[in-house]
Structure 1
Amino acid sequence: MEDSDPDRLAARITEGDAEAVVATVADLTAVDADTRKRALRAVGDAVDDGTRLDGAAVGSLTSFLTDDDRAVRLTAAKLFVALARTAPEAVTPAVDSLGERLADDAEFYYVRARCAEALGYVAVESPEAVADPATLADLRVGLEFDEPEVKEKLAKALAHVALGDPSRLRHHVDSLAEHLDAGDELVRYHLCTALVAIGCEHPDRLTAAEAALGERLRDESPYVRGRAAEALGLLAGTEPPKERADAGEALDEVDADAAPSFLLDRAEFCRRRLADPASDPVSGVGTVESVREGTADAVAAMTVPDDGVCPHCGLDFADGGPPMCPRCGTPR
């Protein structure tokens, strides 16, 4: 039937006809899984092209998060990530549904990861809609997953929660610090970013993460090292100041000729604070606003793909390997 045509759903969303969207979604429940997936992808294309959805349309799409077909649920979760990235306020009606998928231990872990990612984007703009104790617990417990991409999405969501409201995670510094030695660079980066956001408003709370952050000052990633230095600089600004000789030695190892400005600026910030807790700030460092503005560029720099290496989990590909990474399942 015409109303079950995938392109028709996207067209009705583009037209802004909420009632027609809801009716079309209802019709799609009677068609095969491939058609439902194509419909969701068509909606995703419309969103990428600038279409904005209202609450009624978003609410109707949540039914796909509990679809019987796992691939449909994953496609729906990816759609909500796209929606939340471009218009987080529009996804507020779907927060409960996304939270239920995240909390479902029996759900496919990639569906849970994408739901967490969507919730994170909402949390930046509307932290009160996302950061209830149960959701925060699900995000933190999820860091125990072995799958690199899943842990990365959960860590990213936690960073977004902290950027939305640093107070939300101030009592969880120790549990975040437990995962700062994760094997995935992006996990370490996002968790350090969350700690920096917390430290911008509650620097004394970072005491519980001081040892773990100190270890990250020698991290192989300059972006992780930079965030760790930024967090320790915030901690050094608390009273009374403490001796932090190990941090000073690690900072002295930063190579001014080879290190990116991201690390150099944060190393300088930390040095100044270690020398004088009341020192003048370094521009673009040590505020929630600067973290928000700089995170996307830092992640982009970290995820520039090397030839033959998965940008998500770092697996080396053999020549002529498959189009999907055999470890984490993401496209090459």
Structure 2
Amino acid sequence: MDDSTQPPPIDRITAALDDGSQERAVTHLKQLRRDDTERQKTVLRKLRQIAEERPTTLEPVLTTLTRFLTDEERSVRLTTAKLFVAVAEADPKAGSAVVSPLADRLADEDEFYYVRARSAEALGYVALERPDSVASPEVLADLRIGLSFDEPEVREKLAKALEYVALGDQDRLRHHVADLTGHLTDSSELVRYHLCTALVVVGCEYPSALSESQTALADRLDDESPYVRGRAAEALGLLARSESDEAIPEMPSTTDDDAERFLVDRVRFATDGRDDSSVGPPSDEIGTVEAIRNGTEAVVSEITAPDGDECSHCGASLPEAGPPMCPQCGAPH
């Protein structure tokens, strides 16, 4: 039977995976022609859908898929990186198998910046459950250093990865508080939010480590974002609780409506005990690693809520002054 009469490559690959035939699936993947970019992307996009639904299905072929991370076509590399994001988000254990090649993409300064961004994001998801496999000195250095030089879209993913490293193991960033603090004035709201959140997470276990960040956190109380202001207040509240003589900066004014509930609750948390009129929220809802872990994605969804156009190719939301390419599918914007 010639190739024209065989099922499409993706059908052959998925059938092999469903049958538990790892060798056959690997063979089909290796047979994909490197010069057939569209077919490669079609296969990778389908595998991404599988990863979102049943990520363990792809475990047998993950190391084979890493070859697409170094493909000559950057659109293939980006599609592959997004596939690994889906794997790592759904199953960090499975994602830990591809940490090394993702770290290589992150460290490559000549790599397309969206590929680096997605690689950082995948590493962050793995770090949530497997911090030991991600938080090497080299990877942490790449994440931190990139905050100074990279494109905004990359910095946002780097900051998110650092937040997730902290959520996975608070000790990993305990001695890097000053490095994170130095970027709290970033132009991106997401960068400021993720880094403030990372500091709060560290402060949940090591509140005294936040002492060197007090001034910078107090400055964030005037941030334009209520979510950044809220995290800054939360961090200062943790610091004040650990040091009884620590003066609490003047908190931002708030309104008691739902739109600023995130900020309101954290201001009350920070000022709880300073005066008898303050009634703070339950202590297990704010100022704990578990509360942040359970709630940070919802905050990011609020921050990134659509306020611009949609990509005509994949429907992803695009800000009015967005990048020249869609960060979701790589199509021109």
Structure 1 residue 110: Cα displacement = 1.2
**Aligned equivalent of 2:291:** 290
**Aligned equivalent of 1:330:** 327
Structure 1 residue 6: Cα displacement = 3.1
**Aligned equivalent of 2:56:** 52
Structure 1 residue 19: Cα displacement = 1.7
Structure 1 residue 14: Cα displacement = 4.1
Match of 1:91 among 90, 95, 103: 95
Structure 1 residue 112: Cα displacement = 1.0
Which deviations, in whole Å up to 9, do the C-alpha atoms of 1:56-90 show, x marking residues without a partner?
31111111111122111111001000100111101
**Aligned equivalent of 2:223:** 219
Alignment partners' CA distance in 2, 1:4 and 1:97: 28
**Aligned equivalent of 1:114:** 118
**Aligned equivalent of 1:254:** 254
**Aligned equivalent of 1:271:** 271
Confirm whether residue 228 of structure 1 aligns to residue 228 of structure 2: no
**Aligned equivalent of 1:22:** 26
Query: In terms of mean alpha carbon deviation, does 10-19 or 179-188 score higher?
Result: 10-19
Does the C-alpha gap of structure 1 residues 201 and 5 become closer, same or farther in structure 2, counting only changes over 3 Å?
same
Query: In terms of mean alpha carbon deviation, does 254-263 or 203-212 score higher?
Result: 254-263
3-state SS, counterpart of residue 188 of structure 1: helix
Question: One-letter code of the match for 1:292?
Answer: R
Which deviations, in whole Å up to 9, do the C-alpha atoms of 1:15-54 show, x marking residues without a partner?
4432222111211145512211111111112223335235
Q: Which runs of 5+ in 2 are unaligned?
A: none
Question: One-letter code of the match for 2:320?
Answer: D
Alignment partners' CA distance in 2, 1:212 and 1:295: 21
Question: One-letter code of the match for 1:272?
Answer: D
Confirm whether residue 168 of structure 1 aligns to residue 166 of structure 2: no
- Contact 2:166–2:198, Cα closer than 8 Å, also in 1: yes
Q: Which runs of 5+ in 1 are unaligned?
A: 318-324
Alignment partners' CA distance in 1, 2:58 and 2:50: 14
**Aligned equivalent of 2:307:** 306
Question: One-letter code of the match for 1:47?
Answer: A
**Aligned equivalent of 2:148:** 144
Alignment partners' CA distance in 2, 1:293 and 1:93: 25
Confirm whether residue 63 of structure 1 aligns to residue 75 of structure 2: no
Question: One-letter code of the match for 2:167?
Answer: L
Which deviations, in whole Å up to 9, do the C-alpha atoms of 1:236-291 show, x marking residues without a partner?
112352223xx22x33x122246522111111111116569xx9953400110000
- Contact 1:222–1:259, Cα closer than 8 Å, also in 2: no
Alignment partners' CA distance in 1, 2:310 and 2:39: 33
Alignment partners' CA distance in 1, 2:134 and 2:113: 20
Does the C-alpha gap of structure 1 residues 308 and 38 become closer, same or farther in structure 2, counting only changes over 3 Å?
closer
Query: In terms of mean alpha carbon deviation, does 233-242 or 182-191 score higher?
Result: 233-242
Which deviations, in whole Å up to 9, do the C-alpha atoms of 1:307-332 show, x marking residues without a partner?
4599x998536xxxxxxx44564368
- Map residues 167-206 of structure 1 onto 2, 5 A cutoff: 167-206=171-210
**Aligned equivalent of 2:246:** 242
- Contact 2:114–2:327, Cα closer than 8 Å, also in 1: no
Does the C-alpha gap of structure 1 residues 149 and 53 become closer, same or farther in structure 2, counting only changes over 3 Å?
same
Match of 1:79 among 80, 83, 89: 83
Which deviations, in whole Å up to 9, do the C-alpha atoms of 1:74-123 show, x marking residues without a partner?
11001000100111101111111111111112211111111110000000
Aligned residues: 319
Alignment partners' CA distance in 1, 2:78 and 2:32: 16
Query: In terms of mean alpha carbon deviation, does 42-51 or 18-27 score higher?
Result: 42-51
Question: One-letter code of the match for 1:179?
Answer: H
**Aligned equivalent of 1:321:** none
Does the C-alpha gap of structure 1 residues 309 and 45 become closer, same or farther in structure 2, counting only changes over 3 Å?
closer
Question: One-letter code of the match for 1:254?
Answer: T
- Contact 2:55–2:87, Cα closer than 8 Å, also in 1: no
- Contact 2:307–2:319, Cα closer than 8 Å, also in 1: no
Identity in percent: 48
Question: One-letter code of the match for 2:120?
Answer: A
Does the C-alpha gap of structure 1 residues 202 and 46 become closer, same or farther in structure 2, counting only changes over 3 Å?
same
3-state SS, counterpart of residue 272 of structure 2: helix
Question: One-letter code of the match for 1:56?
Answer: P
- Contact 1:81–1:114, Cα closer than 8 Å, also in 2: yes
Query: In terms of mean alpha carbon deviation, does 282-291 or 254-263 score higher?
Result: 254-263
Does the C-alpha gap of structure 1 residues 54 and 41 become closer, same or farther in structure 2, counting only changes over 3 Å?
closer
TM-score normalized by the length of structure 2: 0.87
- Contact 1:148–1:328, Cα closer than 8 Å, also in 2: no
**Aligned equivalent of 1:12:** 16
Does the C-alpha gap of structure 1 residues 230 and 14 become closer, same or farther in structure 2, counting only changes over 3 Å?
farther
3-state SS, counterpart of residue 204 of structure 2: helix
Question: One-letter code of the match for 1:165?
Answer: D
**Aligned equivalent of 2:214:** 210
3-state SS, counterpart of residue 106 of structure 1: coil
TM-score normalized by the length of structure 1: 0.88
